[in-house]
Amino acid sequence: MRLLLRLLGIHDATSPERLATGWTAVMFGCAMAGTAVLRPVRDQFGVVQGVARMPFLYSLTLGVTVVFTPLFWWLCQRMPSRRFVPTVLHVLAAFNLLLGLGLAWIGDFDWKAPGGKQLGELFWGYFSAFNVAVPTLVWIHAVEHFRREQALRLFGLIGVGGTLGVIVGSWLSAFLTSPSWSAAASLLLLELTALAHACSRRACLRLGAPQPPECPPAAPWYAGLQLLARNPRLLAIGGYMILLGMVATAFAVAQTELVGEQVARARDQQIWFASTEAWSQTLVLGLQLCATGRLLRRFSAIWFLCLLPVLAVSGLLVLAAIPTALAVAWVQIVRRGGQFALEKPAREALYTPFDVATKHKVKFLLDVVAFRLGDLLGAVYQVGLREAQVGGGGILVATIGLAVVWALLGIRLGAGASRPRT
């Protein structure tokens, strides 16, 4: 038991801390499971639409994210979290009920039925907002009740809860036989999230007086843009995020093409997406528990910021040699495992030299808007190469070129993070 507590990072936690952390981890797990159970259905709709429609779908993702997120935070600043978090969860659950009814109306995976395409596009846009809101609700609750010292010791376990939730939600999606059942499962998981929030809040109150979140008053929407324009390092992080999105889209395009060509049945396509996500998150979980902390303490950030570009180039070469759905599944598992377990923690450390006000103003722009812009630019780039009738070798070289620039930017950012600050 002591070994397990040490592995989970709570061997030195008090009993109230363990209870509060455990319930918050359960909350995060239910929330991420509710997201993961819907993702394969969304991705299967993308396969039906095809590569040519990806620029439109990614522009829809970017547009919804940019419009929804400021509204989300505006409402958050005007309600206490004890009311805001469960209220939004119940509202999203109600939307999932409507989604499930719509999916049942058009029939299983029948996106070509009357109204099916329009429902799929609404679902794609809704999922973009849903995917941002649900995990954010958990952290809104967590940062209000855990002090900074507690967060450094205990938030890792909460993150493990989220990873377990994605694994459970992905496998659940693979077993559910209908998209409408996936929507119903997501609804139930959101209500369980609200229940876990109530239990977590009661446990968190035993930690002592709640600490206010370390956030300054709301800033104008353009404040982050002003900081970006004045700070070369923030601009470099933005460029890194755009390239991350562009190269990730190259794999999404390959995935859409190969799954659409080689996995005939829509139900099998959903299982393919769900299984791939579940195995990639299983790899993330294993690395989080056994390797992430040790590796991050032992090696420079340069290694981890270059890891994804190296994995991307390797994956592109594998897919050029073995263009199969099975190959792209294994490439995605390894690539996403490395991203979420190793590259993302190193990337988060890039923000530590900046003050809280700066992080509050620019982090959303960099982590969400820049990344989604990269998705869109990557889709336009890949589709443009195909429409220009560039051969497979030319597309490979053009995409590897992006990965090389991305790696060089990672080296620059990692070197800056490794220098001592005065």
**pLDDT the model gives residue 280:** 95
Q: What is the pLDDT of residues 389-407, one digit of tens each?
A: 888 899 999 999 999 999 9
Pair 104, 174: CB distance under 8 Å:
no
pTM above the 0.85 mark? yes
pLDDT along the chain (422 residues), means of 10: 57 79 93 96 94 94 88 82 92 96 90 91 94 89 77 77 94 92 96 96 77 49 73 90 95 94 92 95 88 79 89 95 95 92 84 70 81 94 92 92 94 71 42
405's tokens? 């620039």
**pLDDT the model gives residue 215:** 46
In terms of C-beta density within 10 A (0-12 exposed, 13-18 middle, 19 or more buried), how is residue 96 classed? buried
Pair 420, 250: CB distance under 8 Å:
no
CA dihedral 125, 126, 129, 130 (to 10 degrees): -140
Q: What is the pLDDT of residues 324-354, one digit of tens each?
A: 999 999 999 999 999 988 888 888 778 777 7
